[in-house]
A and B are shown apart, each in its own frame.
Chain A
Amino acid sequence: MINAMFVVWRESFEAALVVGILYSYLKKRPEGAAKEQALNFMWLGVLGGVLLSVILALGINYAETELQGIALEQFQNLMLVAACVLITHMCLWMKIHGRKMKSELETGMKEAMDSSKKYEIAILSMLAVAREGSEIVVFLYGVAFEAMEKKMMSSLVVYALIGFVLSIGTWWVFNRGLKFFSQKVFFNVTTVFLLLTASSLILNVTRKLIQSDYLPTIKDVAWDTSGFINEQTSFGQFISGLTGYQSTPALMTVIVFVLYWIMTYGIYKFLIRKECVAKQAVQAA
């Protein structure tokens, strides 16, 4: 359940980052009705984003109560895949847009303020909150399902709250620009952690599909590294929970793992190239 803390931590941090940029931009505007209105739109967007996430959570919850047995299991597998895709997408997006996110957001704000379309500010903050919020919802779903059955919902809520408080703390430190806190290190470390989490999600789905005979193993044991890290030890279980490590993976699992990283890397390279082309086009114009 400590995973819940990490995910809530980084996701809320990103939402806070975006809202923080919008807020400090608006704070610097000259006083007046326009500023008041813009700030109201911003908070409205935050509220809308939270609301959208809650609606998603309710929708998933509804689907869950309607489904049973195998259908429920497939639904859960689907949610795990969705969480994997969302987390990977978020990491790639931040890697490419993160550096100029601030200037992009401020350009959007300036355009909204200059035109009469101030409601666009609400859309900006709503999208930021809803995106991170829906990722939290989809990821926590699997954990929450288990927690509810075991009547351990309160400890899950506590972990999620710790993650939330940590994100506020990180955000505060971040804004202070304290020397010991390196933005680059924070993002790189959490990106590696989140990509590993994402790949472990897809490996979990693969294992479940193999156990239910939906997927062939191709070769039952591709290799055996139990002499190196053994899942029977508590250290091995920790590593396995964090990364999806298996000492005797099926060949199918290995293929899924390799495909995940090739695809993630490929999409990353593709986006970088697209970004470069777009930049050159702007410079040429």
Chain B
Amino acid sequence: MKLLISLALLSNVAFADDLKIIELHIKNHKYDLEKIEVEANKKFKLKIYNDDSSSEEFESKSMVVEKFIGPKKSITITIGPLKPGSYDYFADFHPSTGKGILIAK
């Protein structure tokens, strides 16, 4: 079991670097990218910067992500692989202004 896990960890590290990183900023409780396109069936990383001085939470029901971001902080999450389709995301603490759609093709 240990061997299996360490092997898996190694293999994960091996291709973790190949993942595409998409940068996303939050400013004035809005996402700078309100439409993102990614390749379907392929994992990718989202690096989200919170440029506001209040905390925020990146959330997506369809991608099942919920991640807290402190003021002036950034976080990275690994997402997918997603099937072709559109996925909404929003800013949980300011849902009226912070929202966007991610399209997997």
Q: Which residues of A contact B (CB under 8 A)?
A: 68-69, 72-73, 149-150, 207, 210-213, 216-218, 220-221, 224, 226, 231-232, 237, 240, 246, 248, 252
Contact = CB atoms under 8 A, between A and B. Distances in A.
A226 B62 CA distance: 13
Contacts of B67: 211
B8 A216 contact: yes
A213 B8 contact: no
A221 B64 contact: no
A120 B67 CA distance: 46
Main secondary structure of the interface of A (DSSP, over half): loop
A150 B73 contact: no
B84 to A, nearest CB: 12
Contact of B68 (A73, A220, A246): A73
A210 B78 contact: yes
B62 to A, nearest CB: 6
Contacts of B70: 68-69
Contacts of A226: 83
Interface of B: 5, 8-9, 11-12, 16, 43, 55, 57, 61-62, 64-65, 67-68, 70, 73, 76-81, 83, 85, 92-93
Contacts of A220: 43, 80-81
A231 B64 contact: yes
A232 B85 contact: yes
Given A211-B67, A237-B61, A69 B73 contact: yes
Given A150-B93, A210-B78, A216 B11 contact: yes
Contacts of A149: 55, 57, 92-93
A213 B68 contact: no
Q: Which of A149, A150, A211, A221 has the most CB of B within 10 A?
A: A211
Contacts of B11: 216
B93 A213 contact: no
Contact of A150 (B16, B55, B92): B92
A246 B81 CA distance: 13
A232 B62 contact: yes
B78 A213 contact: yes
Pick the 3 closest A-B CB pairs, nearest first: A216-B12, A216-B8, A218-B8
A212 B64 contact: no
Nearest to A220: B81
A211 B48 CA distance: 13
Contacts of A69: 70, 73
A150 B94 CA distance: 9
Contacts of A231: 62, 64
A151 to B, nearest CB: 10
Contacts of B62: 231-232
Contacts of A224: 83
A33 B16 CA distance: 72
10 contacts: A72-B68, A73-B68, A149-B92, A211-B78, A211-B79, A216-B12, A221-B81, A232-B85, A240-B64, A248-B81
B77 A211 contact: yes
Nearest to B56: A149
B9 A216 contact: yes
A1 to B, nearest CB: 14
B45 to A, nearest CB: 9
B52 to A, nearest CB: 14
A212 B81 contact: no
Given A150-B92, A220-B43, A213 B16 contact: yes
A211 B16 CA distance: 12
